[in-house]
Chains A and B, each alone.
Chain A
Amino acid sequence: MNSAAAVATDTGAITVRGVSKWFGSGDGALQVLDNISLTIPSQSVVAIIGSSGCGKSTLLNIISGLVTPERGDVILNGVPAREFSDWRSISYMFQEDRLLPWRTALRNVEFSLEAGSMLRSERETRAREALKLVGLESFADAFPYQLSGGMRSRVALARSLVQEPCILLMDEPFSRLDALTRAQMHEELLRIQQLKKMTIVFVTHDVEEAVVLADNVVVMAPRPGRIREQVAITLPRPRDATEPVTAQQAHHLKSLI
């Protein structure tokens, strides 16, 4: 961390050290996370799975800086979260697409760039590139209601990618899509991840999705949320959810939850 080279290699890496989180205060406080430690190497894809109420979304929100833990630290790109300022290099993709209905696809993608003071022309150029990346350049002027569920999801993905993040956090991003569209989105996501060299951390309740996408799967246990096991997925890519080896791996993960 003391040399520029060390910082550069840390870009996209996430370290979670001894994180505990309570909701509420006093005697009625509910512990949702208990002493979570996790190392996520740069450019890897990590899935967080577990039964509902195990705090997996809270963990993601802590990494994103939306929620601060009572104990422990998060280190992003080699910088402690408290001193971290480059939040625009971290993108968050929600479960719902959250497209603003009064904006066209293009203007929705631009929304990610509007927090700062970027020029409108520059925003538009970058938003068009992001739409092209997800294959929707010809739908730039369409309003959300005119798009299918899969297309809306792609626009949301483009909105997450337009800031050129080094870390992409996703909270069950494709859970509302049908199986076929979801498989297409998986392919798309991995292609873009290779291209843009991003670190991806995502929460899912779908073990097949975890197996198809992730290099590493973090299995969490509930009440209070803690890490039960970390499983490395070494299956060759591209992975197909219908193949026996993939199904077997998924079955193994299911037994751990």
Chain B
Amino acid sequence: MPEVLESRIHAPTAARGLRYGVVLQRLGLVAFIVIVWWLLALRVPHYVLPGPARVWEALTLISDSGTLWQDLGITLGRVATGFVLATLIGLPLGIIFGASRRLGEFFEPIIPVMNTVSSAIWATFAIIWFGVSNATTVFVVFMTAMPLIITNVWQGTRTVNADFIELAHVLRMPAWKVMWKIYLPTILPYFFSGARLAFGFGWRVSLVAETLGSSSGVGYRLRQAADLIQTDQVFAWTLTLVVMMAILEMGILRPLENYLFRWKKEAEQ
């Protein structure tokens, strides 16, 4: 029996055949969508729904003129800044609210209130306070992402196993080591799902903020193209965003998550 268990431990976790199947499925789905899009575009004027070929042309145009990469970089930079700030403040606050029952109970009502405030309202305030600048978008992303991170980390601190704390106590482990070796690993999966959610939301609200209070970035370009009824460019920008999110998700976030949480049962994942 031990030999069997051992071979299972050293066996690769994901079956390779299954993975190729999934890739094939995804490619099929993309092909299906493109065909349906193309067929629909044949019947309507191009300023309502441009076809795949037209959008591709628009894409090469904005990519050649250089604004594509520049604007993507600007938007990504703003989202990342807002997100990092939200993490720097949200992570410690979540831990503090979780560790201190009194503080947690006192501040608890703020989180749902912050979550219900629309990003358009944050954007309006941001324009009043910061004008048309980078800070406007960063602020909106920050205000949207922070409550999500706090909530998740807070929830994570509630799941810290008292038995593990007692174990550390028996070993006379100092408090900071308990934080580092027991609290942090317990919270990490919760933080990660919160951060993921926050990043996705941040991305979406950043566009809203940019259409309202910015003179650069993808959101601004989207509005500009829409104002000039360059529907093909609107589609081109949208497509770029979708591809970028997919790359972030499948290329970075998911592999990182699989590595960090490899100790979880396969069934749970």
- Residue numbers of A with Cβ under 8 A of B are 64, 66, 87-88, 92, 94, 96, 98, 100-103, 111-112, 114-115, 138-139, 141-148
Contacts and interface: CB of A to CB of B under 8 A. Distances in A.
Contacts of B8: 146
Given A111-B167, A146-B5, 6 more contacts: A98-B167, A100-B164, A100-B185, A103-B263, A114-B177, A143-B263
Contacts of B174: 115
B170 A92 contact: yes
Nearest to B265: A145
Contact of A146 (B9, B167, B171, B177): B9
14 contacts: A66-B170, A94-B163, A94-B166, A98-B163, A101-B264, A111-B181, A114-B171, A114-B173, A115-B171, A115-B177, A138-B6, A141-B9, A145-B264, A146-B5
B169 interface: yes
A144 B185 CA distance: 15
Interface of B: 2, 5-6, 8-9, 163-164, 166-174, 177, 181-182, 185, 261-265
A114 B181 contact: yes
Contacts of B172: 87-88, 115
A145 B169 contact: no
A158 to B, nearest CB: 14
Contacts of B173: 114-115
Nearest to A100: B164
A139 B163 contact: no
A194 B218 CA distance: 73
A141 B8 CA distance: 12
Contacts of A64: 170
Q: Which of B5, B6, B167 has the most chain A CB within a 10 Å cutoff?
A: B167
B263 A145 contact: yes
A87 B265 CA distance: 35
B163 A102 contact: no
Nearest to A87: B172
Q: Which of A66, A115, A147 has the most chain B CB within a 10 Å cutoff?
A: A115
Contacts of A142: 9
Closest 5 A-B residue pairs measured CB to CB? A115-B173, A143-B263, A102-B263, A92-B170, A115-B171
A111 B181 CA distance: 9
A40 B73 CA distance: 71
Contact of A94 (B9, B167, B261, B263): B167
Nearest to A112: B171
A201 B245 CA distance: 59
A64 B169 CA distance: 11
B74 to A, nearest CB: 38
Q: Which of B9, B170, B262, B264 has the most chain A CB within a 10 Å cutoff?
A: B170
A138 B2 CA distance: 10
B78 to A, nearest CB: 34
Q: Which of A92, A100, A147 has the most chain B CB within a 10 Å cutoff?
A: A100
Q: Which of B2, B182, B261 has the most chain A CB within a 10 Å cutoff?
A: B2
Contacts of A148: 5
A87 B173 CA distance: 11
Q: Which of A96, A103, A145 has the most chain B CB within a 10 Å cutoff?
A: A145
Nearest to A145: B265
Contacts of A100: 164, 182, 185
